[in-house]
Structure 1
Amino acid sequence: MGTTIDLHNEGTIIDSSKDTVIVTKVLETVRGGRALDVTGFDPKVVNAGHIIIKDTATGNIFKPMPVNTAATAYAALPDGYEYAHVQINTVLTAKPAAALLVRGTVNPKACVIEPTAEAIEALGPLIIFRAD
């Protein structure tokens, strides 16, 4: 018997059921979203509510904020980057097409990783962090 190929693709399930609980009000987004640079980001998913950073040199590279090895807290802000947005949708790092919040409301207690006080302050008054 010859070689066989399994034509059944295993589906990937992303739990996005909390996305609207995390980002409770969307008033303005980055038009068209952005493709995230996930180089060095180990988790397989970037969840809604994740802090997004951008490079300060060009302002054109957007990355998910680094996390600790257990993916339970944010790591330090890398040199050459600044806080930019909050991610609206949950995506796989294999297909990191992110919808980014510019103005709206986020429930920090519902986030998979709760935003730091530094990130909240840096994102300014257009993104309101309010727990239910």
Structure 2
Amino acid sequence: MAEVNLTNDSEQIITGNDNIAIVDVFATVRGGRSLNVSGFTPEVIYAGHPIIKETATGDYKPLPATADSVAGVATLGTVVPGAAYTNGTYTNVPLSGGSGKGVLATVVVAGTVVTTVTKTKGGSGYKVGDSLSVPAEYAGGTGNGASVPVASVESNVGVYGALPVGHTYQGVLIASILTKKAFAGIMTQGTINPVACPNDFATIAAAFKAAVPLIDQRAD
């Protein structure tokens, strides 16, 4: 059974691409649906994302995808070591600051200073030159002043996974939503611009067209 948390948090998603991906809407799943997002890792489900349905349970879900198509941290620059940190190796440290969110790193402290910061998750929305700080609470509990600049960013092109066994294509998401608040408007007839959809639509275009023929795919 899919459940949705509709509590309002101070989080935002960028929806400027929604009206480019969704060109025309002629018919929808009436009233929308709560999505079962178990195992879906991207933080945002963007407009144009294919929605599938599990035959056995009737659950609606986003088609599996490997990543968001967003710009994240590619490489980090020279570490400013800070002082008074607790020696050790710390994983999944959420670096703070900068213009984006979600970057994680492995941080090594030796001689009470931060010696290396290695990106493990690129996050999204960062810019070259952003200064990212190492929060002491995630790196041993003591210390301050350690930081590292963003040296380069990359566009992580998301890839759709295969249609799971026992599922069918139903339509596409009309407007971008947070994965953890997955109440979805689903288009069943209309026009999408596959080039503006969140991931590489070409990999599923033929199968999707056969299953949902009333959704026209047109790269305007």
TM class, shorter-length: 0.7 to 0.9
Alpha-carbon distance, 1:71 to partner: 6.6
The one-letter amino acid paired with 1:65 is: L
Say whether residues 1:122 and 2:121 are aligned partners. Answer: no
Task: Please show how residues 47-66 of structure 1 align to structure 2 within 5 Å.
Answer: 47-58=46-57, 60-66=58-64
Q: Residue by residue, what CA displacement relative to the aligned partner does 1:6-51 show, whole Å, maximum 9, x if unpaired?
A: xxx9721101111111011001111110000000000111000001
Kept after mapping to 2: 8 A contact 1:34/1:98 = yes
Q: Taking structure 1 as the reference length, what is the TM-score of the superposition?
A: 0.85
Q: How does 1:1-132 map to 2 (within 5 A)?
A: 11-58=10-57, 60-68=58-66, 72-115=158-201, 116-132=204-220
Alignment check: 8 A CA contact 2:170 2:212 kept:
no
Query: Are 2:169 and 2:212, in contact at CA under 8 Å, matched by a contact in 1?
Result: no
Secondary structure of residue in 1 paired with 2:189:
strand
Match of 2:174, as an amino acid? I
Distance 1:71 1:36, change over 3 A: farther
Matches of 1:51 and 1:117, distance apart in 2: 10
Q: Is the 8 A contact 1:120 1:129 kept in 2?
A: no
Q: Which has the higher strand share?
A: 2
Range that drifts further, 92-101 or 66-75? 66-75
- Structure 1 moving runs of 4+ over 3 Å: none
Moved more, 71-80 or 93-102: 71-80
Structure 1 residues not aligned, in runs of 5+: 1-8
Q: Contact conserved, 2:171 with 2:212, CA < 8 A, in 1? A: no
SS at match of 1:94: helix
The Cα of 1:79 is off from its aligned counterpart by 1.1
Alignment coverage as a number of residue pairs: 123
Q: TM-score, normalised by structure 2?
A: 0.52
Q: Distance in 1 between matches of 2:165 and 2:31?
A: 27
Identity of aligned residues (%): 45
Shift of 1:118: 3.6
Unaligned runs of 5+ in 2: 1-7, 68-155
Alignment match, 1:6: none
Instruction: Name the CA distance, whole Å, in 1 between partners of 2:207 and 2:175.
Output: 19
Give distance in 2, aligned partners of 1:68 and 1:90: 17
